[in-house]
Amino acid sequence: MDAILTLWQSTGIANVTWRELLMLLVGVGLIYLAIAKRFEPLLLLPIGFGAILSNIPVAGMAGPEGMIGMIYHVGVETGVFPLLIFLGVGALTDFSALIARPSTLLLGAAAQFGIFATLIGALALNLLPGFNFSLADAAAIGIIGGADGPTAIFLASRLAPDLLGAIAVAAYSYMALVPIIQPPIMRALTTKAERSVVMEQLRPVSRLERILFPFAVLFLCALLLPSAAPLIGMLTLGNLLRESGVVERLNRAAQNEIINVVTMLLGLAIGSKLSGELFLTTQTLGILVLGAIAFAIGTAAGVLMGKLMCRLTGGKVNPLIGAAGVSAVPMAARVVNKVGLAENHHNFLLMHAMGPNVAGVIGSAVAAGVLLALVGP
Amino acid sequence: MDTAGTELVVEGLWLMVIGMTIVYAFLMMLVGFLTLMSKAVARWAPAESLPAIPPAAAPTAPATGDARLGAVISAAIQAHRTRHRP
């Protein structure tokens, strides 16, 4: 009889709590979004499955002795995984649009306003009962506005590890929602004439320029903002692998094998942070709401900066490309292209939007470096 | 608590001012740096930009297509004439 009782007590049914059940459902929900709706499936699927595995009662897979807990410890706590993803992003990104028209960097800078506005929003939420965000928490929430998954995870793992699960899920789900969040804001802030501005073709960029570019970025970073060096350093290394043209094998590994393996492990590790006690709080709800606001403000700031540049250049810049200043490569640039095409069927803005788009990646890495330097431990 | 809350918001505002200033300053310097770099490359390593010159003739791209066609046709006529001269 005792044996049966012991056996019963080791089953999942006897040990499950309502929180774990709910989180299992959240995990299933994320997987549903990934498979049926194709929302960032590369990340949401492993995150969802990680959430399911971590909330299996008794198994303790997310604990310090569990498999996923160890992956988290090795890859996320140390910040190594998001940095390896940045290596892959660097190898995948063609910066020539940015080199051909460096002024688009300013659009990437403007869109980072969303980060800081959200930071204040998070602090203002403290005035409501049920919220207690520290400055570091608020900074980690704000970085969702950078629309850059790896940067958000890197910063959150440094500043607010407890909120990592909610921040990562918010960052990646809103990135999938870019085509829904951005167009209404872009249309509201621009006139029909501005949207149909045709931009002149970009000049060709020589190979030497593309090879020197990573060094230029890294040099400035080392000089002015060493706290952003891990992010910028890996990004520029990846880009140099790509542009040097002599290490095709490493380039291909960074673009495919490394980024794929790390994405899977990172997803599992983040899923382990979706445990009942940490996720089912009013704070999570606040983070989800703030994340959407962050995206909206970042988009608006980018478009407004685009309008300013349009005025200053005498109508040579289409303000829509400012919206691509929130990173979300290449989704945001595609959205810009689509909205532009809706006004003028022959106006392809994709290449022009890639400039601010990749500038946004550098911009959010810089913003992350600033936040690390100012509120970091 | 309330005053502590507002204090935190004020601190956040400072962070925003400083943060945006640094982000802007950094990226504007990068703009300058990249412009200089492009100029230097165009000046000191023009060999690198040589392959870019044929596409720079791109405005006349349809014309070059015509010219090539013209060249082919005239060569064909030439060949025809030389063959049928005797």
Do B23 and A109 lie within an 8 Å CB cutoff? yes
Buried b / exposed e over A236-269, threshold 16 CB at 10 Å, is bbbbbbbbeeeeeebbebbbeebbeebbbbbbbb
- B85: pLDDT strictly greater than 80: no
* B2 & B38 share domain: yes
**pLDDT of residue B67 exceeding 90:** no
Residue A318 — pLDDT band, cuts 50, 70, 90? very high
Would you say residue B17 has pLDDT above 80? yes
User: Looking at the structure, do residues B58 and B38 belong to the same domain, yes or no?
Assistant: no
**How far is Cα A350 from Cα A355, in angstroms, rounded to an integer?**
9
pLDDT, average across residues B39-60: 62
Where does the pLDDT of residue A172 fall: very low under 50, low under 70, confident under 90, or very high at 90 and above? confident
Residue A281 clears pLDDT 90, i.e. is over it:
no
CA B52 to chain centre: 10
Q: Work out how many CB contacts closer than 8 A connect A with B.
A: 117
B1 and B32 in a single domain? The answer is yes
Q: Which amino acid is at A243?
A: E
* Whether residue A369 has pLDDT greater than 90: yes
Residue B47 contacts A, CB cutoff 8 Å:
no
pLDDT of A372 over the 90 cut: yes
- Of the partner residues A116, A204, A220, the one whose CB lies closest to the CB of residue B15: A116
pLDDT for A145-168, tens place per residue? Answer: 888 889 999 999 999 988 988 898
Q: Are residues B36 and B57 in the same domain?
A: no
B-interface mutation test, from A135, A202, A207, A209, most B Cβ less than 10 A away: A209
Same domain, B40 and B55: no
Number of compact structural domains in chain B: 2
d(CA A197, CA A334): 17
- Residue in the structure block whose two tokens are 């309502």: A18
- Note whether B2 and B40 are same-domain residues: yes
| pLDDT tens digits, B26-36 | 999 999 999 99
Query: In terms of domains, do B32 and B60 share one?
Result: no
Cis peptide leading into residue B54 (ω within 30°): no
pLDDT at residue A234 greater than cutoff 50: yes
What phi and psi, each to the nearest 5 degrees, are found at residue A329? -70, 140
* Alpha carbons A163 and A153: distance in angstroms, whole number: 10
**DSSP 8-state class, residue A317:** S
User: Within 13 A of A373's CA, how many CA atoms are on the CB side?
Assistant: 19
pLDDT at B52 over 70: no
Q: What pLDDT is stored for residue A1 in this prediction?
A: 81
Average pLDDT (A180-201) is 92
Amino acid of residue A207: R
pLDDT given for residue B2 in this prediction: 65
Domain range for residue B63? 51-86
pLDDT tens sequence across A23-68: 999 999 999 999 998 888 888 899 999 999 999 988 889 888 999 9
Mean pLDDT of A217-231: 94
Q: Of A128 and B61, which is predicted with more confidence?
A: A128
pLDDT value at residue A241: 97
Q: Are B4 and B37 in the same domain?
A: yes
Mean pLDDT for the stretch of residues A17-22: 90
Asked whether residue A242 carries a pLDDT value surpassing 90, the answer given is yes
What pLDDT score was predicted for residue B64?
55
The pLDDT assigned to A329 comes to 82
CB atoms < 10 A from the CB of A112, how many? 34
A201's tokens: 């073709």
Interface of A with B (CB under 8 A): 98-99, 102-103, 105-106, 108-109, 112-113, 115-117, 119-120, 122-124, 126-127, 135, 138-139, 204, 206-209, 212-213, 216-217, 219-220, 224-225, 359, 362-363, 366-367, 370-371, 374-375
Per-residue pLDDT band for A187 (boundaries 50, 70, 90) equals very high
Closest CA to A50 of A11, A81, A94: A81
Give the residue-averaged pLDDT of A92-103: 93
What is the per-residue pLDDT for B47?
59
Average pLDDT over chain A reads: 92
pLDDT band at A324 (very low <50, low <70, confident <90, very high): very high
Task: Tell me, yes or no, whether B40 and B61 share the same domain.
Answer: no
Sign of the C-alpha dihedral computed for residues A213, A216, A218 and A221 taken in this order: negative
How high is the pLDDT of residue A39? 82
Give the separation between CA B12 and CA B30, rounded to whole angstroms.
26
Same domain, residue pair B30 and B59: no
In a shared domain, residues B55 and B40: no
Please tell me whether residues B36 and B2 are part of one structural domain.
Answer: yes
